[in-house]
Structure 1
Amino acid sequence: MRLRIEWTHVDKWVGTDDEQKGGDPSRRRRRGLLDFTVTLREGITVVLGPEASGKSTLLRVTSTVSVPDDGRITYVLDDQSYVWSRRMAAKGGAPPVASLRRKIGYVPPYRRLQMDLGLEESLVDLALYHGVSHPKRRAVETVARWGLAAYRRHPLRELPEHVASRYLMASSLVGDPVLWVVDEPSADLEDWGYRLFLAELKRRRGKGITLIATDDLELAEEADYLLLMESGSCRRIGQRKLLTSSVPDGTVASWYQAMQTFTARKTTHKR
């Protein structure tokens, strides 16, 4: 099975046009993605870049939580091809869109959960949504794997933050997604949850596409591929081992620093 994602001339505006509303100018609309054109294949890809480089925007659009303003994303998953674009989003719950979403697991940055549904019950519902053959069993296994047994009957809105972060990870995996999209796992998980996340990365290696946005350069060492973003566009993409071979110690941290230093010098030279 060949898996890939192709972003083709994807543009996305983010923020609000507060300038017209007399609001905070720092929150005016800006380009989150600009003519983003990249092809990604099976494996673990870590997305790096400075603040406001478009990392989270890329993940939201790719997970179909957000809609591209222009361009399209093509997914080849399980020998099926899907397209995500403004035109497809206008079709709402059309079968191709619904089928695509069942193949994606998305973990956003931590947000407080507002549902009164119990934790285990919510996992059962998700397993049913994804067409899992034994939804109750899958929910029980997920609770055990992610250390959630003590909270299995708790309403989601009452979960402590560190437990809610683990739940978000767990819930994204209930349907065995072909595409797993994770935004800043290092920021929200406590030590135990982070160890469980790393164990999940090992289980998924060679099984589908994993896309992670992070500022954690140590985590980036787990990547098969690195994607470096700048101003909403792809600056560099390639195999981690090949990219980091250009720096003496062969680490992602040194390579990333070298890339940022080069950018700073180029900007200074232009001035």
Structure 2
Amino acid sequence: MSITFQDCTYRYGRKLRPVLDDFSYRVPGGLTILLGPNGAGKSTLLKLAASVSRPQAGRIDFDGIGSRSRAYRRHVSWMPQNVAAMAGLTAREQVAYSGWLKGMNRADAWQRALDSLALVDLREHADDKASTLSGGQLRRMGVASALVHECRVLLLDEPTAGMDPRQRRVFRDLLRSLSGDVGILMSTHDVADLAEEADHVTVLYGGKVLQTGSTEAFLAHAPGGTAQGRAAEAAYTALLTEYEAG
């Protein structure tokens, strides 16, 4: 069960060039890392997959359920790049509110909020005002908000920005623990960010998929003799260089 794009076109203005044009793509299961330079279309793809934006042409569905339906949004969660603290709410209250918006009753949302905060190592901050959390903590609260209603697909837009090394480690462990039950599509600008721990890698450039497949297939693009620990960066650079050379 996954999200599928079928011949989708999306532009931000009627006279502007499409960001995605006649775009087809199926989000793999497990953990997929979405790579690409600024302007590649990563955030647009995630907004469309989250049903935050709608394509001007084409169709997006989850296991046959169209993206315009309420049922689709119950299965899919999205964490945008910028997670804002809601004035006056604690971290638990904000996460619970997200669950309520997804159709949960208040009691279930309240309990699941605490469970979700524990998953992202924020349980001890459950009663802190969301406005007092650090940037990295806010992002982890954003993940908790996305997970609170037990979604089937989790869409993450630059979730590790602002996290320190320990927080990134906690986050990596969380994604690995979830990816057996939840399909995860995570965009990043950091080529090394989980790329070698992911199940799949998709590289987007100019609104087109340059490469999608297993992590092993992605890393195979690295030139021979690449130093250990630099394979992801080398593979990414080689793909973009090959494409730009025509």
Partners of 1:209 and 1:144 in 2: how far apart? 20
TM-score (norm 1): 0.78
Match of 1:131 among 104, 108, 133: 104
Stretches of structure 2 that go unaligned for 5 or more consecutive residues are none
Mapping of residues 252-267 of structure 1, within 5 Å: 252-266=232-246
Mapping of residues 105-116 of structure 1, within 5 Å: 105-116=77-88
Partners of 2:195 and 2:206 in 1: how far apart? 20
Match of 2:47 among 42, 47, 60: 60
Partners of 1:204 and 1:176 in 2: how far apart? 11
Report deviation, 1:161: 2.6
Mapping of residues 195-210 of structure 1, within 5 Å: 195-210=169-184
SS of structure 2 residue aligned to 1:227: strand
Partners of 2:33 and 2:44 in 1: how far apart? 14
Give the fraction of aligned pairs with identical amino acids, expressed as a percent: 25
Partners of 1:222 and 1:264 in 2: how far apart? 27
Partners of 1:221 and 1:189 in 2: how far apart? 19
What RMSD in Å do the two structures reach over aligned CA positions? 2.5
Report deviation, 1:63: 0.9
Stretches of structure 1 that go unaligned for 5 or more consecutive residues are 18-27, 89-96, 267-271
Q: Which amino acid aligns with 2:7?
A: H
Partners of 2:38 and 2:109 in 1: how far apart? 39
Report deviation, 1:130: 4.7
Counterpart contact for 2:221–2:239, Cα < 8 Å:
no
Which residue of the partner structure matches residue 20 of structure 1? none
Q: Which amino acid aligns with 1:256?
A: Y
- CA gap of 1:126–1:237, structure 2 versus 1, over 3 A, is same
Q: How many residues are aligned here?
A: 238
Match of 1:6 among 1, 4, 8: 4
- Indicate the larger mover: 151-160 or 35-44: 151-160
Counterpart contact for 2:210–2:239, Cα < 8 Å:
no
Partners of 2:84 and 2:93 in 1: how far apart? 18
- Indicate the larger mover: 207-216 or 123-132: 123-132
Partners of 1:243 and 1:192 in 2: how far apart? 27
Whichever of the two has the greater Rg, that structure is: 1
Partners of 1:146 and 1:237 in 2: how far apart? 28
Q: Which structure shows the bigger proportion of residues in helix conformation? A: 1
- Indicate the larger mover: 65-74 or 107-116: 107-116
Partners of 1:232 and 1:246 in 2: how far apart? 21
Give CA-to-partner distance per residue, 1:145-178, whole Å, 9 cap, x none: 3333454334434543332222111111112211
Matched, 1:239 2:214: yes
Which residue of the partner structure matches residue 50 of structure 1? 37
Partners of 1:108 and 1:98 in 2: how far apart? 19
Partners of 2:2 and 2:156 in 1: how far apart? 17
- CA gap of 1:120–1:114, structure 2 versus 1, over 3 A, is closer
Report deviation, 1:30: 4.1
